[in-house]
Amino acid sequence: MLLKLGGARAAGLLVNTVVVHRPSDDTVRALAAEYRAYAVPNRSDESSFADSLRTGIELIAAREAGHDATALLVCLGDQPLLRLEVLQALIFAWRDGGGMAVRPAYRDSPGEPGHPLLVDRSLWRLAADMRGEQGLGPVLERQGINVRTIPVGGRNPDVDTPEDLAALDADAEPAAPPDATPSILDPFDA
């Protein structure tokens, strides 16, 4: 995920990446540093999703005070299939006046709320209304704020367990055996 977000920064789509992590998670802190992301510890190892999201928004708001940060992308660290073209679609839709909150609708995961969620700066204040393991989606719904969905191909599943990872690996295209020689078809060699 951090590699893909780094690619989005290199493409000029993102300015910064903030990683909220458990205070005791030195591995995530080191990965964030390796990928030039700002690592910020959550309030405690038992913090909720809402706490994590608020912590990230507070950091971004403080760091970007007086700067041009006008939106943020809420990306979940357990979704390794995030693609650059999805980030582009969300950002371009928002830049073109496509809504104050924009999320993908993945073709292969109909009915599931897609991530990441792009949130306009004018809505960041609503993070104070988040509770427990729910993010901004339910808050936006309660406030009557329309979340625009952008249709995109594929899927972006949560990978929370070793079984989820195994299922993801099983769905991947099979790789060529390491000793296989690639075939080249020469249409003039017939």
Predicted pLDDT of residue 160: 81
Please give the C-alpha separations between residue 56 and each of 60, 73, 151, 171, 190, in angstroms, as whole numbers.
Answer: 6, 11, 27, 32, 62
CA angle 61, 15, 90 (to 5 degrees): 90
Query: Over its length of 190 residues, how does the chain's per-residue pLDDT go in tens digits?
Result: 788 888 888 888 888 888 999 999 999 999 999 988 889 999 888 888 899 999 999 888 887 766 666 899 998 888 888 899 999 999 999 999 888 999 999 999 888 889 999 999 999 999 999 998 888 999 999 999 999 999 999 988 778 888 877 877 777 654 444 444 333 433 333 3
Name residue 26's amino acid: D
Phi, psi of 14 (to 5 degrees): -125, 150
Alpha-carbon gap, residue 125 to 136, rounded angstroms: 10
Q: Are 105 and 87 in contact (CB under 8 A)?
A: no
Task: Tell me the pairing of strands 38-41 and 18-21.
Answer: parallel
Predicted pLDDT of residue 68: 63
What domains lie within the chain, and their CATH numbers? 2-158 (3.90.550.10)
Predicted pLDDT of residue 69: 62
Which residue matches tokens 């608020």? 54
